[in-house]
């Protein structure tokens, strides 16, 4: 049981390049989330999904797209990376009940030059 | 809008002593959940404790307990018998309904041997 995993762990991009971050969970969770963490700040929600085939915007969605084609995977895409997207990205998942706790992945450190 | 405030950027405690981390939040909701997450240098977000707003009894988890004051919108974390492994960033978080977690900016806890 691996929990929540994220690929890759580190990445360096040049401005304008694109990439996709992969989040996978093996707990059969319905809900999945993408957050970013910037220095001196808590995590902020980018996008989330309440089930396979669904996505919704969070607090800071601009410049990102997401897809949830399979229940266990949640992809975060950057079509044209900008230096302002340099951050640590966390994925999380939880079961459907509103009382349930989110479980986090180990994070991906992304640097955009 | 929901906001979470942690007014102590840094705290320190002697090993085996007790320390309290502060958190206040702002909401107009009546049904919500509060969490404390620990983030060690590994960056992994680890759930420490959670509190349902409708429960008057303060949550406890071994050496960790909370002082939940609903009317004052305060949710402090007490760590008893502090250990070196408790050193980390601690984030207070708020959630209403099924989705968005709102995080504070964190408190860095140092444990002095």
> What's residue B81's pLDDT?
97
> What's residue B56's pLDDT?
85
Give Cα B61 distance to the centre of its chain: 12
Instruction: Tell me the mean pLDDT per 10 residues along chain B, length 113.
Output: 88 98 92 93 91 91 96 96 97 81 94 97
> What's residue A37's pLDDT?
94
> What's residue B2's pLDDT?
66
User: From residue A105, how far is each of A45, A91, A102, B107 by CA, in Å?
Assistant: 14, 5, 10, 21
Decide: A22 and A11 in contact? Cβ < 8 Å.
no
Looking at the DSSP bridge assignments, the partners of residue B60 are: B65
* Chain B nearest CA to A113, separation (Å): 22
> What's residue B97's pLDDT?
67
Strand B32-39 relative to strand B88-96: parallel, antiparallel, unpaired? antiparallel
Strand B10-14 relative to strand B107-112: parallel, antiparallel, unpaired? parallel
Pairwise CB contact (< 8 Å): A90 & B45: yes
> What's residue B43's pLDDT?
86
Looking at the DSSP bridge assignments, the partners of residue A104 are: A92
In this prediction, the residues of chain A whose per-residue pLDDT falls under 50 are: none
Sheet hosting strand A73-78, strand order edge to edge: A4-7, A19-25, A73-78, A65-67
* Distance separating alpha carbons of residues A7 and A106, to the nearest angstrom: 10
Pairwise CB contact (< 8 Å): A101 & B35: yes
Rg (CA), chain A: 13
Alpha-helix residue ranges (DSSP H) falling in chain B: none
In the stretch 83-112 of chain A, residues with CB closer than 8 A to chain B read 88, 90, 92, 96-99, 101-104, 106-107
Any CB–CB contact under 8 A between B1 and chain A?
Answer: no
């Amino acid at each position: 049981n691996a929990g929540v995993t994220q690929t890759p762990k580190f990445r360096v991009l040049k401005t304008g390049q694109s990439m996709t971050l992969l989040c996978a969970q093996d707990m059969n969770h319905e809900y999945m989330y993408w957050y970013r963490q910037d220095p001196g700040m808590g995590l902020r929600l980018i996008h989330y999904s309440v089930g396979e085939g669904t996505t919704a915007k969070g607090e800071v969605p601009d410049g990102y797209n997401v897809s949830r084609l399979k229940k266990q995977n949640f992809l975060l895409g950057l079509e044209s990376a900008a230096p302002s997207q340099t951050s640590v990205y966390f994925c999380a998942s939880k079961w459907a009940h509103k009382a349930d706790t989110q479980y986090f992945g180990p994070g991906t450190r992304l640097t955009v030059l | 809008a929901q906001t979470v405030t942690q007014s102590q950027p840094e705290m320190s405690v002697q090993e085996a002593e007790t320390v309290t981390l502060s958190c206040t939040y702002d909401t107009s909701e009546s049904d919500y959940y509060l969490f404390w997450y620990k983030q060690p240098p590994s960056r992994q977000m680890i759930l420490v404790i959670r509190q349902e707003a409708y429960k008057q009894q303060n949550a406890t988890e071994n050496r960790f307990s909370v002082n939940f004051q609903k009317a004052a919108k305060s949710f402090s974390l007490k760590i008893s018998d502090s250990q070196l492994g408790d050193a980390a960033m601690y984030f207070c978080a708020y959630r209403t309904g099924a989705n968005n977690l709102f995080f504070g900016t964190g408190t860095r806890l140092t444990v002095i041997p």
